[in-house]
Structure 1
C-alpha cells in the first residue's frame, strides 16, 4: 500500500473515478506515471480554460519568479496586483462598458460566494437570499446554504438559514413567474437582499437558462432593490464564448463571482466584483491570509492581455462548441429510446442520460479509452464535457469518437 493510499482521506472523489497517478500535463492532455496519455475534458472542473501548462502563461510566471517577484503580500499594493487590476480594467471592463470594484475574498470560488452574500446583506440591510434548484455555489457554510441540492446542503451538519429556493428556468419555468415566486418566498420582495444564480448550471446538470428569463429576473431584482449575484465561477472566463457568461443575455449584475480559470494557470484565485456604490466594507471587514496570491495575479493578467485583446478566442470557443454540440446530438440520435439528449452552450456541454448509472458507465468506458469525463446533475445523470478552450479540432473529434464508442459500450453491454 502506498503512502497516498494509507493517508489520503476517504473524502476524496476524483481519484476514485480515475485511479491513476498523474505526473505531467500539457495542453489538453494528462500523462500517467505508466506513460499513458489521457485526453482531459475535465480540465480541473473548468479551472484550466487555457490548457495545462499554457506556454504563454508559464513564461510570464517563470519570468516573475526568476526576478524574485513578491509571492505573498496579503492586500498590500504590489506590481503584480496593479498589473492584474490594469488588465481587468483595460481588457475586460472597459470594452464591455462595465464598472466594478474588485474584492479579493480568498483563494477559492466559495470565498467569492461568501463575500458576495455577506456584502449583499450588509449593503441592503436585508437578510434573505434566493437561490435556485440544482444550483451549486461551493461547500463552505454560506455557499452551502444557497446550493440547490438538498443532499449537499445536509453535508453542513447544521441548519442553513435565511435562504429560500426558486425553480431554475431551463424551459421548466415561465418567465412571468419570477416576480410572483420572489414575492411568495420567505424574504418577499422587501426582505430579500439578493438572488444568486448561474446563467448555466454546471454541477447542476448543464442546465442553460433562457436569456429572456435572465433579463426578466434582472429587471425584477432592479425594480425591488434586490441585488443580482451572478456566479460565474465555472462558466466565466470564456467557457461559453464571451468572457462573462451573462453578456449574451444583455444584463449587468450587481455582483459577480469569479474563480477557477480567472488565474489562467490553475493557481488558486478568486474575485468578487461589485458595483462601486455597494463597496461599503470597512477596512479589514472581510479578509484572509491568502486573499491575494501574486503568482496567480501574474498569470491572470497575462491571460487577459494575451487572449482577451481581440475576439479570436471567443469566436473559436463558440465555433468549437457548436461542432461538439452537433456531435453529441448525433450520438444521442443514434440511440432512440435511451433517453439521451445534448445540452449546453460554448464549451460547457453535456450528454443527458436516463440515470446516473448509465452516465457512470459511459464515463468509466471513456476512461478506459483514454478520455476523462465527469458526471453531474441530480443523481449524476449527465456526462459533462469541459475541454480547454485551446483544445485542437483533432482532439475534439477524437473525444467525440471515444464518447460514441463509450455510449455504445455502456448501452449495448447492459441491455
Structure 2
C-alpha cells in the first residue's frame, strides 16, 4: 500500500476510515487464530486423555494376567499330589487333542499320532489312578474317543482313492498302518483296491481314455516308489523311532509350562516304544519285487477289463480310419512317456484295447472292399501299367544328345517290344486300344533313335 500517495490524495476522514477498517480486519484474524489454536489445544488434550486411558487399561490387563498366573500356579502347587496334577495334565491333553483331530488342513499322520497319544493317556488314567473322580472323567471320554477312531479310519480309507502323489500316499498309508496295525502287504492291497474304485468312478463320470491311462500310470509309479523302493516302510520306521514331530502336540505344548511339555514327551516316548513293538511283530519288512509285480499285474488286468468297455464305446463313434489311428497314437504316446518299471506298458496296451480297435477298423474297411469290384481293380491296374510304360518311353530333356543316349533308348524300346507280350497284354487288361497305343509309341521311339 502506497501510504504517501494515499495521504496526498485522500482526506483525513477517509484515512481514519481506512485505518478503522484495517484494525477491524486484523482483530477478526486474531480472533480466528485464537479459536484455531484453542481447537488444536483441545484436540491435543483429548488425545492425551485417550492415550492415558489406553495405557491405564493396558496396565490393568497386564496386572490381571499376572495375578491370574500367580493364583493358578499357587493353587496348582497347593492342590493334590503329583499324581493328581499329572492326571489333570493328561485330561487337558486328551480334551485338547480330541477337539483338534480332524480339523481342516490337518495332515492324516498328525491326526493319527495325536490320536495314539490320546488312547495312551486314557489307558494311563483308567488303569494307573485310584481317584474315583479321575476314573469317572476318563470313562466319560471313552465313547467320544471310540467315535473319533471310527471317523479317522473311515476318513483315511475313503480319501485314499484319489491320492496319486507318492508323498501324500506315504503320509496317509503310514497313518493307516499306525492306526489300524496293517502290515505292508495289506497296505498295498488297500491302495490298489481304492485306486480301482477311483478308476471305476472316473468311468462312471465319463472320463477320457487318456485320463484313465494316466491314472493307471500314476498308481503304478506310487506303488513302485513306496513298496518296491521301500519309501513307505522307511517312513513308518522314522515315525516310530521318534523322528516325526506332531504339529498338534507341538501346538498344545507351546503355551504351557515346561513341566507339562516334559510329561507329554515322556508319554510320547512310551507311545513310540509301543508302536515299535507292534510293528516288529507284524512283518514290517519290505515286500519282494516279484510279489509286488504279481499284485500289480492282477490289478492291471482287472482295471483294463472294466476300461475296455469304455474303449469299445468310444470306437463305436469313429467314422474313418484316421480317428482310429489318432486314438492308437495318443494311447501309445501316453504309455511310453515316463512309464514306471513295474507293470508292462505293452500288457496294458493289449488288455486295454483287445480286439475293439481291430474290429472297428475291419467294419470301416468292409464297405470299401465291397465297392472295389474285380473289374474296377483290373481297369485301374491296366491304366497304371500303361502310364508306367509310357513314362519309361518319354524323352526327358538332356543336353547330352549323343549316339550312346539314342542307342540306349532304342534298346529299351526293343526290349519292351520283344518282351513277354502275353504278360503285357494281361497287365493292360487285354485292351486293344491300350496295346495299340503302346506299340505305336515304342515303334516311333525305335525309328527315331536308330
Asked if Structure 1 and Structure 2 have the same fold, meaning a TM-score greater than 0.5 normalized by the shorter chain, the answer is no
Q: Which has the higher strand share?
A: 1
**Rg (Cα) greater in structure:** 2
Q: Which has the higher helix share?
A: 2
Scaled by the length of structure 2, the TM-score of the pair is 0.19
Greater relative contact order, per chain length (Cα 8 Å cut-off, separation 6+): 1
